[in-house]
């Protein structure tokens, strides 16, 4: 316990799934957590489940003004910012012949632009501390490393997150800011987003779970806490020599 004691974290997409599990885990390990999402009722439930060291903020990651407000509210309430977890994301099946520009832009605005818009104000907030420093953790995907013919837009967005994270890491390291940036690459995790994906394909959930599990050498999909354990490591001093790296949590999916 206490691996991120007295630190302050912002977690986007924290109303459900990996984001909610991450917010709860960081709080259990001693952090104060800003739960940021557009799903107010679920976000407030996550805040209540954590307790007094959590704050829910309605936040649209595609809106630069909203980001400024979240950072300002975080510092006003908790006095600092140490950890940013860019977890908000969208995903759906698509192929290059049938995908629309409107859908492409929507997914990019959340998955990729949201990471940029969060990173931009987080760096000066982390610089303002004494001593300067922090950890930026961007949730990419196994599909940010390998491709699939069925999720081209998602591939592009998550691959962009992977390389943008590396660029951010190099910038912060060479500037001597003490800020690290790493990406996390989950395989299929049994979350509401994956369940929604299966429903959209007309699949029975249990049959779909088994089918997705068979894609992973370990034989099953991941659980929501599998990813936050990796995030916790990247947020803590245990990973102090790690920046610009990819933490792959995918049951062997990308090893094939």
165 within a domain of the structure (yes/no) = yes
- Average pLDDT, whole number, for the chain? 96
Three-state secondary-structure class, residue 57:
strand
Rg (CA), the chain: 17
Domain-embedded: residue 201: no
Domain residues for the domain of 171 are: 8-187+222-249
The catalytically annotated residue of 154, 164, 229, 233 is 154
**Domain assignment of residue 2, yes or no:** no
Let me know if residue 47 belongs to a domain. Answer: yes
Q: What is the pLDDT of residue 120?
A: 98
> 63 versus 202: which is more confidently predicted?
63
Give bridge partners of residue 135 from the DSSP assignment. 83, 180
Q: CA-to-CA distance for 12 and 19, rounded, in angstroms? A: 7
Give 156-220 as a DSSP string: HHHHHHHHHHHHHHHHHHHTT--EEEEEEEE--B-SHHHHHHHHHTT--HHHHHHHHHTTSTTSS
DSSP sequence for 229-251: HHHHHHHSGGGTT--S-EEEEST
Residue 109 is assigned to a structural domain of this protein: yes
Residues 234, 239, 243, 244, CA torsion sign: negative
Q: Kindly state whether residue 156 falls inside one of the protein's structural domains.
A: yes
What is the token pair recorded at 19?
């984001």
For the segment 51-103, what is each residue's pLDDT rounded down to a tens digit?
Answer: 999 999 999 999 999 999 999 999 999 999 999 999 999 998 899 999 999 99
pLDDT band at residue 192 under the 50/70/90 scheme:
confident
Which of 118, 134, 132, 126 lies closest to 235, judged by CA? 134
For residue 42, what is the domain's CATH number? 3.40.50.720
Q: Is residue 199 part of a domain?
A: no
Active site residue 154: yes
Q: How many domains does the chain have?
A: 1
Residue 202 has pLDDT above 90, yes or no: no
% of the chain beyond a pLDDT of 70: 100
pLDDT band at 226 (very low <50, low <70, confident <90, very high): very high
pLDDT tier at 191 (50, 70, 90 boundaries)? confident
Residues forming a β-bridge with 138: 86, 183
* C-alpha–C-alpha distance, residues 102 and 106, integer Å: 6
The contacts of residue 194 (CB under 8 Å, 6+ apart) are: 188, 212, 221
214 within some domain: no
Helix, strand and coil in the chain, % to nearest 5: 50, 15, 35
pLDDT digits (tens, 9 = 90+) for 21-51: 999 999 999 999 999 999 999 999 999 999 9
Residue 195: pLDDT band (50, 70, 90) is confident
Residue 126's pLDDT is what? 98
Distance CA 215, CA 256 (A): 10
């Amino acid at each position: 316990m206490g691996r991120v004691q007295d630190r302050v974290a912002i977690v986007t997409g924290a109303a459900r799934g990996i984001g909610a599990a991450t917010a709860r885990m960081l709080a259990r390990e001693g952090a104060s957590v800003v739960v940021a999402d557009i799903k107010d009722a679920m976000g407030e439930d996550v805040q209540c489940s954590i307790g007094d060291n959590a704050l829910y903020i309605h936040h649209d990651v595609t809106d630069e003004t909203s980001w400024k407000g979240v950072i300002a509210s975080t510092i006003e309430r908790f006095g600092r910012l140490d950890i940013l977890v860019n977890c908000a994301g969208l995903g759906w099946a698509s192929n290059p012949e049938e995908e629309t520009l409107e859908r492409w832009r929507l997914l990019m605005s959340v998955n990729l632009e949201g990471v940029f818009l969060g990173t931009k104000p987080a760096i000066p907030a982390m610089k303002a501390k004494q001593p300067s420093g922090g950890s930026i953790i961007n949730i990419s995907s196994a599909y940010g490393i390998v491709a699939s013919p069925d999720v081209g837009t998602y591939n592009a967005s998550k691959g962009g997150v992977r390389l943008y994270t590396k660029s951010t890491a190099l910038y912060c390291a060479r500037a001597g800011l003490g800020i690290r940036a790493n990406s996390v690459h989950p395989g299929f995790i049994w979350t509401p987003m994956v369940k929604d994906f299966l429903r959209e394909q007309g699949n029975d959930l249990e049959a779909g779970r088994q089918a997705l599990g068979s894609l992973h050498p370990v034989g099953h999909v991941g659980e929501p806490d599998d990813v936050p354990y990796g995030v916790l490591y990247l947020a803590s001093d245990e990973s102090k020599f790690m920046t610009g790296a990819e933490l792959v949590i995918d049951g062997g999916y990308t090893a094939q």
